[in-house]
Structure 1
Amino acid sequence: MLEKAIERKLMTLTKERGGYCPKFTSPGTAGMPDRIIILPGGKMGFVEVKAPGQQPRPLQKVQHKKLRDLDIPVYVLDSPDTDTITGILDAIQAA
């Protein structure tokens, strides 16, 4: 399964919750997570989308740690499984 298919499912399930899931792109942000998840109630987190079985690159791990050190949730998603994606969205909503 391609990373893009997992990303589309994340976007769809986020939208079904009334949320917004824009792609995070900006100069000077190499290694930052792919998507910002913004949910009702001002809840926010980041999701790094990977192909099944793939892991974040070293620079991505550094950026994830910087965000987590600021108490911003960061998740790595490598599965199109609805329960997995729902679990991530539930965790962001509960944060």
Structure 2
Amino acid sequence: MKRSIENIVKRAEVSEKAIEQYLTDSVKKLGGICLKYSNPGMVGFPDRVCLLPNGVTLWVELKSKGQQLRTMQRIRITQMMRLGHTVSVCKSKEDIDRMLEPYKTADHDF
């Protein structure tokens, strides 16, 4: 029973929902806004768009550990990057920390 509870807690910590909440909180700490993105007519776009100070925009696709991008997601991400947008795929809190590291400064001047 104890092992079962530990597995549930461990899975909850790496779930897409937990990673999404961590992203939202991390962006807020930087003085930004993390919006859920949804466009019913166009599939494959990243889950979140992060608006950081000084006009920085980051697109983020969130996946829980072990999940892979769908074909349409790969196509959209490639298309967006070719247009010059910054797009990251984050599967962990560590991925989010790495993505946001360049934007962490005391005065948010980047």
Bigger RCO of structures 1 and 2 (CA < 8 A, at least 6 apart): 1
TM-score (norm 1): 0.88
State the TM-score, normalizing by the size of structure 2.
0.77
Q: Which residue is 2:80 aligned to?
A: 67
RMSD: 1.8
Q: In the alignment, is residue 85 of structure 1 matched against residue 66 of structure 2?
A: no
Name the structure 2 match of 1:76: 89
Q: CA deviation at 1:45?
A: 1.4
Runs of 4+ in 1 over 2 A off after TM superposition: none
- 2:24 maps to 11
Q: CA deviation at 1:31?
A: 0.6
Query: Which segments of 5 or more consecutive residues in structure 2 lack a partner in the other structure?
Result: 1-13, 104-109
What residue number does 2:55 align with?
42
Higher CA-based Rg: 2
Q: Matches of 2:80 and 2:64 in 1, distance apart?
A: 22
Q: Structure 1: any 5+ residue segments left out of the alignment?
A: none
SS for the counterpart of 1:46 is strand
- Residue 27, structure 1, aligned to residue 44, structure 2: no
Which deviations, in whole Å up to 9, do the C-alpha atoms of 1:44-93 show, x marking residues without a partner? 01000001122211000000011001010110000123xx31221235x4
